[in-house]
Amino acid sequence: MEALSSLLAQLTNGLIVGSIYGLMALGLTVIFGVLKIVNFSHGEFYMLGAYISYLISQTLGLHPVLGVLLAVLATFLLGMLIERVLLTPLYDNKVERKDEYALLITFGLSLFLINFALAVFGPFQKSAPALAKGTIDLGVITVSSGKVLAALVAIALLLGMLYIIHKTWLGTALRAISQDRDASAIMGINAERLGSIAFGLGTCMAGAAGALLGPVFLVYPVMGGVPAIKSFVIIVLGSMGSIKGAIYGALLVGIVESLGVVLISPAYRDVYSFLILILILLVRPKGLFGGAQWHN
Amino acid sequence: MLEVKQVEAGYGKIQILNGMTLTAKENHLTLLIGPNGAGKSTLLKTIYGFLKPGKGSIVYQGKEITGISPHELAGLGIGFLLQRVSVFPELTIEENLKMGAWSFKQNRSRVYQRIEYMYDKFPILKQKSQEKAGLMSGGQKRLLEIARTLMPNPKLILVDEPSAGLSPKVTKEVYRVLHDLKQEGITLLMVDQNIRDSIGYSDYVYVLERGQVTSESTAADIEQNLQQVVESWLKF
**What are A265-284's pLDDT values in tens digits?**
888 888 888 998 999 888 88
> What residues have CB less than 8 Å from A29, skipping those under 6 apart?
A202, A235, A240, A241, A242, A243, A245, A246, A294
| Residue A57 to residue A198: CA distance in whole angstroms | 28
This prediction has a pTM of 0.89
CB spacing of B103 vs A296 below 8 angstroms = no
B11, β-bridge pairs: B14
Nearest-CA residue of chain B relative to A93?
B12
- What confidence score (pLDDT) does residue A296 get? 42
B100 part of a folded domain: no
Q: Give the nearest partner residue to A188 out of B88, B95, B103, using CB atoms.
A: B103
Q: From residue B164, how far is each of A63, B45, B85 by CA, in Å?
A: 61, 17, 9
Helices and strands in chain B: count of H runs, count of E runs: 10, 10
d(CA B233, nearest CA chain A) in Å: 32
| Residue B87 to residue B67: CA distance in whole angstroms | 25
Question: A288 near A248, Cβ under 8 Å?
Answer: yes
Q: Give the nearest partner residue to A175 out of B50, B75, B90, using CB atoms.
A: B90
- What confidence score (pLDDT) does residue B235 get? 65
pLDDT at B207 over 50: yes
- What confidence score (pLDDT) does residue B48 get? 93
CB-CB neighbors (< 8 A) of B152 in chain A: 188
Question: Which segment, A130-139, B66-75, B87-96, B203-212, is predicted with the most confidence on average?
Answer: B87-96
Q: Give the nearest partner residue to B99 out of A184, A191, A293, using CB atoms.
A: A184
CB spacing of B74 vs A188 below 8 angstroms = yes
Please compute the mean of the pLDDT values over residues B9-38 and round it to a whole number. Answer: 88
Nearest-CA residue of chain A relative to B154?
A187
CB spacing of A188 vs B148 below 8 angstroms = no
B2, β-bridge pairs: B24, B60
Longest dimension (CA), chain A: 65
Nearest-CA residue of chain A relative to B84?
A183
| Residue A260 to residue A246: CA distance in whole angstroms | 21
A175 part of a folded domain: yes
Q: Are strands A135-137 and B212-218 parallel, antiparallel or unpaired?
A: unpaired
Please check whether residue B75 touches A, CB under 8 A.
yes
DSSP of A210-279, one letter per residue? HHHHTTTS-B-TTTTHHHHHHHHHHHHHT-TT-HHHHHHHHHHHHHHHHHHHHHT-GGGTTTHHHHHHHH
A139 part of a folded domain: yes
Residue A197 sits in which domain range? 14-221
Please compute the mean of the pLDDT values over residues A260-265 and round it to a whole number. Answer: 86
A75 part of a folded domain: yes
Give per-residue pLDDT as tens, B124-174.
Answer: 999 999 999 999 999 999 999 999 999 999 999 999 998 888 888 888 889
DSSP B83: S
Question: A152 near A132, Cβ under 8 Å?
Answer: no
| Residue A261 to residue B194: CA distance in whole angstroms | 67
| Residue B114 to residue B97: CA distance in whole angstroms | 9
Please check whether residue A182 touches B, CB under 8 A.
yes
B4, β-bridge pairs: B22, B58
A84: nearest Cα among A173, A175, A192: A192
> What residues have CB less than 8 Å from A46, skipping those under 6 apart?
A24, A206, A207, A209, A210, A213, A223, A224, A227, A228
A259 part of a folded domain: no
A274 part of a folded domain: no
Count Cβ–Cβ pairs < 8 Å, chain A vs chain B.
72
Question: How many domains are there within chain B?
Answer: 1
- What confidence score (pLDDT) does residue B166 get? 87
B77 part of a folded domain: yes
Which H, E and C letters describe A77-137, residue by residue? Answer: HHHHHHHHHHHHHHCCCCCCCHHHHHHHHHHHHHHHHHHHHHHHHCCCCECCCCCCCCEEE
- What confidence score (pLDDT) does residue A93 get? 67
CB-CB neighbors (< 8 A) of B88 in chain A: 175-176, 179-180, 183-184
For chain B, percent of residues with pLDDT exceeding 90: 60
Question: How many domains are there within chain A?
Answer: 1
CB-CB neighbors (< 8 A) of B106 in chain A: none
pLDDT at A12 over 50: yes
Query: Is the torsion defined by CA of A234, A238, A239, A245 positive or negative?
Result: negative
B54 part of a folded domain: yes
| Residue B206 to residue B25: CA distance in whole angstroms | 12
Please check whether residue B16 touches A, CB under 8 A.
no
| Residue A241 to residue A166: CA distance in whole angstroms | 15
Instruction: Centre a 10 Å sphere on the Cβ of residue A145 and count the other Cβ atoms it contains.
Output: 15
Query: Is the torsion defined by CA of B110, B114, B120, B125 positive or negative?
Result: negative
DSSP B89: T
Residues in B 80-139 with any Cβ partner in A closer than 8 A: 80, 82, 86-91, 95, 98-100, 102-103, 105
Q: Residue B198 maps to which CATH number?
A: 3.40.50.300
Nearest-CA residue of chain A relative to B69?
A185
Q: Give ipTM to 2 decimals.
A: 0.90
Residue B21 sits in which domain range? 2-86+154-233
B116: nearest Cα among B133, B98, B139, B135: B98
Within 13 A of A260's CA, how many CA atoms are on the CB side? 17
B97: nearest Cα among A172, A198, A171, A195: A172
A282 part of a folded domain: no
